[in-house]
């Protein structure tokens, strides 16, 4: 008997984001792999086991999960947000392709979730309402020159941008380099949204013009949305301004 | 007393995608605006009213919803998928900015959902596992030349692409023009995923190489994902191949 491996997206944090489909997948599983804070969000039964690992151990976590499923385990790998966006689904595919043939025979499925940029966008209006790009700013896995080329291409073509993994202790200065680069290609008034823990109790959302955007406003868990030249703000008395990217394109 | 307006994402179709947060927002509302098929997915109580409209009437629907909320209504506007991605949240912001000042005083909130590309990606593996762009192919609201420039920019910079609104009766040939353009900038083996009704009973998901991709494979409700030169496929005996975009960047 072969087991199964399901990769489940928990959404951005609050239980209010967990879909019924994700809840059902968790209930049907026995072994849970993931980064500690994601596993901590699960309420497991006595017959359900945790296999916690650090957030830099994605490939070894994927291999351990595949090996257990190939041996008949009912395995669930959890991701925050959506598992397909800079998260565990790709790591498992990588491990499966490089691994023994029996790993390909596993019943494998992915349960999508609300990814961070959607939750951050929802809190400020509709900044992703027009064409946008989603970019990981981490150069652990790709050269920084590739990231810079993509930032310039996206800004020049009029895409709104969402950044994941914007900064870490190992690379504190790259986000400022990214903002400097963008200031050469976008109006300095373009709104930049720093979204942390969107929808959770400790939520912190802040919008500043590109001219003032700085790496010190972000940490590893921040999702950043940079508007395009078309992105607009609506001032509201006694309320935070709304930020939105119109569906209509206008000559600028 | 002012009312409220909540824009709610229902997810891609199946009830298994509806978040508890979205369910709670629906339960708290009394007047529901939306495109008929989305309203049909709601199970409303006797005191809850439907205001159905066609899918081309987004701005007038937004205005009607805002006017009712400004008069004290408890108003919910529903979108399929996520309301912030080519959907009602931006239309409401547009109407609010152009409308009377009292519309800005409305309690306005957006409840995010699983957007179509995440559900389609989940069904085939992890094609959005690396940097990607999300583009509406409709030229109702922007010039086709802008769309072509964005396709070339995205393909040349190595982004995976997700297309919304890929085709309609009024513009049946543009998607083939888009594929022709991409064939000039990407390997002809790049996988193209046509995803319709992902996660629903009538789901239809199909992956073809870019050389074979054709507009006839899509309709208005299809979400299309076009891989990058880095996107890979894993063949599996007796199962559909998996498609994923590695987290690692490789020189090609």
Lowest mean pLDDT among A108-122, B193-207, B233-247: B193-207
Tell me whether A145 touches chain B (CB under 8 Å).
Answer: no
**DSSP alpha helix (H) spans, chain A:** 20-27, 36-39, 58-70, 88-98, 116-124, 144-156, 174-183
The domain locations on chain A are 4-114, 117-244
Asked if A121 and A226 count as a contact pair (C-beta separation under 8 A), the reply is no
Burial pattern B217-229, b for ≥16 Cβ within 10 A else e, equals bbeebbbbbbbbe
Decide if B93 and A154 are in contact by the 8 Å CB cutoff.
Answer: no
**Which DSSP symbol is given to B198?**
T
Tell me whether A146 touches chain B (CB under 8 Å).
Answer: yes
**Which DSSP symbol is given to A176?**
H
* Chain segment B78-108, per-residue pLDDT in tens: 999 999 999 999 999 999 999 999 999 999 9
Q: How far is CA B9 from CA A38, B12, B243, in A?
A: 24, 9, 27
Decide if A118 and B112 are in contact by the 8 Å CB cutoff.
Answer: yes
pLDDT of residue B252: 67
Strand order, beta sheet including A232-236: A125-126, A239-244, A232-236
pLDDT of residue A34: 96
* Chain segment A162-194, per-residue pLDDT in tens: 999 999 878 778 999 999 999 999 999 999 999
Distance from CA of A249 to the nearest CA of B (A): 5
pLDDT of residue B250: 78
* Chain segment A53-102, per-residue pLDDT in tens: 987 789 999 999 999 999 999 999 999 999 999 999 999 999 999 999 99
Decide if A93 and B234 are in contact by the 8 Å CB cutoff.
Answer: yes
Q: Residue B11: which region, alpha, beta or left (left: phi > 0; alpha: psi -120 to 50)?
A: left
Q: How far is CA B3 from CA B83, B90, B227, in A?
A: 20, 20, 45
Q: Is the predicted pLDDT of residue A105 greater than 80, yes or no?
A: yes
Same fold, B4-114 and B117-244: no
Q: Residues 34-93, chain B: which have Cβ within 8 Å of A? A: 58, 82-87, 89-93
Mutant choice from B11, B153, B225 vs A, greatest count of A C-beta within 10 A: B153
The better pLDDT of the pair A199, A26 is held by A26
With tokens 């353009």, the residue in question is: B181
Mutant choice from A77, A116, A227, A247 vs B, greatest count of B C-beta within 10 A: A247
CB atoms within 10 A of CB B89: 32
Side-chain half-sphere CA neighbours of A116 within 13 A: 29
Asked if A227 and A155 count as a contact pair (C-beta separation under 8 A), the reply is no
Asked if B39 and B82 count as a contact pair (C-beta separation under 8 A), the reply is no
Annotation: CATH topology of B117-244: 3.30.950
Decide if B133 and A130 are in contact by the 8 Å CB cutoff.
Answer: no
Tell me whether A19 touches chain B (CB under 8 Å).
Answer: yes
Asked if B170 and B195 count as a contact pair (C-beta separation under 8 A), the reply is no
| Phi, psi at B156, each rounded to 5° | -65, -30
Decide if B232 and A199 are in contact by the 8 Å CB cutoff.
Answer: no
Q: What radius of gyration, in Å, describes the C-alpha atoms of chain B? A: 20
Pick the residue from chain A with its C-alpha nearest to B146: A157
Pick the residue from chain B with its C-alpha nearest to A152: B157
**Above pLDDT 90, what percent of chain B?**
85
Burial classification of residue A94, based on how many CB atoms lie within 10 Å of its CB (0-12 exposed, 13-18 middle, 19 or more buried): buried
Mutant choice from B4, B19, B158, B223 vs A, greatest count of A C-beta within 10 A: B19
**Above pLDDT 70, what percent of chain B?**
99
Tell me whether A16 touches chain B (CB under 8 Å).
Answer: yes
Residues facing residue A162 across a β-bridge: A134, A225
* Chain segment A187-224, per-residue pLDDT in tens: 999 999 999 988 788 899 999 999 999 999 999 889 99
pLDDT of residue B173: 82
pLDDT of residue A204: 94
Decide if A110 and B130 are in contact by the 8 Å CB cutoff.
Answer: no
CB atoms within 10 A of CB B185: 15
Tokens of A160: 């709104």
Q: Residues 154-213, chain A: which have Cβ within 8 Å of B? A: 154, 156-159, 199
Pick the residue from chain A with its C-alpha nearest to B148: A157
Banded pLDDT at A1 (limits 50, 70, 90) = low
Residues facing residue A78 across a β-bridge: A8
Annotation: CATH topology of A4-114: Cobalt-precorrin-4 Transmethylase; domain 1 (3.40.1010)
CB < 8 Å to A247, chain B = 58, 86, 90-91, 94, 136, 141
Decide if B130 and A199 are in contact by the 8 Å CB cutoff.
Answer: no
Asked if B195 and B205 count as a contact pair (C-beta separation under 8 A), the reply is yes
Banded pLDDT at B197 (limits 50, 70, 90) = confident
**Which DSSP symbol is given to B2?**
-
Distance from CA of B91 to the nearest CA of A (A): 7
Pick the residue from chain B with its C-alpha nearest to A123: B110
Tokens of A158: 């009029």
* Chain segment B171-189, per-residue pLDDT in tens: 778 999 999 999 999 999 9
Asked if A60 and A54 count as a contact pair (C-beta separation under 8 A), the reply is no
Decide if A126 and B93 are in contact by the 8 Å CB cutoff.
Answer: yes
pLDDT of residue B248: 82
Q: Is the predicted pLDDT of residue B168 greater than 90, yes or no?
A: no
Pick the residue from chain A with its C-alpha nearest to B110: A122
Residues facing residue A33 across a β-bridge: A51, A77
């Amino acid at each position: 008997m072969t087991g199964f491996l399901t990769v489940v997206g928990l959404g951005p944090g609050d239980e209010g984001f967990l879909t019924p489909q994700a809840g059902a997948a968790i209930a049907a599983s026995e072994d849970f792999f993931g980064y500690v804070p994601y596993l901590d969000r699960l309420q497991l039964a006595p017959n359900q086991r945790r296999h916690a690992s650090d957030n830099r151990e994605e490939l070894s976590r994927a291999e351990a999960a595949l090996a257990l499923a190939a041996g008949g385990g009912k395995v669930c790998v959890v991701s925050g947000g959506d598992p397909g966006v800079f998260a565990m689904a790709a790591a498992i595919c990588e491990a499966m392709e490089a691994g023994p043939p029996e790993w390909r025979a596993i019943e494998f499925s992915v349960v999508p979730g609300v990814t961070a940029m959607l939750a951050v966008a929802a809190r400020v209006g509709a900044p992703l309402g027009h064409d946008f790009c989603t970019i990981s700013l981490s150069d652990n896995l790709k050269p920084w020159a590739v990231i810079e080329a993509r930032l310039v291409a996206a800004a020049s073509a009029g895409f709104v941008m969402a950044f994941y993994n914007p900064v870490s202790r190992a690379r504190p200065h790259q986000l400022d380099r990214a903002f400097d680069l963008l200031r050469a290609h976008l109006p300095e008034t373009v709104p930049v949204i720093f979204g942390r823990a969107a929808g959770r109790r400790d939520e912190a959302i802040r919008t500043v013009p590109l001219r003032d955007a700085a790496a010190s406003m972000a940490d590893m868990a921040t999702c950043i949305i940079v508007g395009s030249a078309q992105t607009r703000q609506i001032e509201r008395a006694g309320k935070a301004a709304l930020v939105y990217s119109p569906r209509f394109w206008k000559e600028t």
